[in-house]
Amino acid sequence: MADRYQNFEELAADSQAKVDYRIRSEDRGSSVVILAPHGGTIEPETAKIAEAIAGTDFSFYAFEALKEGAFGDFHITSHRFDEPDALDLVGRASTAIAIHGRKDDGRDAVWLGGRATDLRDAIGASLRGAGFEAEPNTRLPGVHETNICNRTRSGEGVQLELPRSLRRTLAEDQELLQEFCLSIKSAILAKAAN
């Protein structure tokens, strides 16, 4: 499905903040930002999962569509996602981890992408160690230099694509969500310590 808007300026000119969409941003002064550029009704539960991973440790950003059936209307492809608050927060971070949603394919594997290959691989290993499926993302690799996750000071970030079934399960099971978040946080903190 093609995006209705090519950039945030077009979307904002045709929509109303706090009615059609909302932006939530928490700058915690961390070198890591966790974001959900397709939250709300675009890719359901991605903002909740990103916020849970960020906790009080990492900066957080979410763009959330507020109307039902908004996927085509409010989805801006990641390499064109240029909402100013996101660009500012991500641009001041050394690493960004973007949480995305994808369609179910019969498996609950998290697809791992982005230009921060060491961190991407560490997150994959940590997720697998915690009992989650994780594999390289060959369909949506997230390596474009203007992908929002790669617009950091280092020019690198990680993109995680979660199937709808896994997002729904994590949203409903707080204990499992906590395990998922902890596995990602531990990989981030381990790479930061090196």
Ordered structural domains, the chain, with CATH: 8-193 (3.40.630.100)
Question: What is the per-residue pLDDT across 61-82, written as a single tens digit (0 to 9) for each?
Answer: 999 999 876 566 899 999 999 9
Q: Is the pLDDT of residue 30 over 60?
A: yes
Write the burial class of residue 174 (CB in 10 Å: 0-12 exposed, 13-18 middle, 19+ buried).
exposed
Phi, psi values for residue 109, rounded to 5°: -70, 135
Query: Given the DSSP bridges, would you call strands 59-65 and 110-113 parallel, antiparallel or unpaired?
Result: unpaired
Q: Give residue 193's pLDDT.
A: 61
2-6, 11-15, 22-26: which has the minimum mean pLDDT?
2-6
Indicate the pairing of strand 134-136 with strand 110-113. parallel
pLDDT level of residue 140 (50, 70, 90 thresholds): confident
Residue 24's CB is within 10 A of a number of other CB atoms, namely: 15
Longest dimension (CA), the chain: 46
pTM: 0.96
Rounded CA gap, 85 and 89, in Å? 6
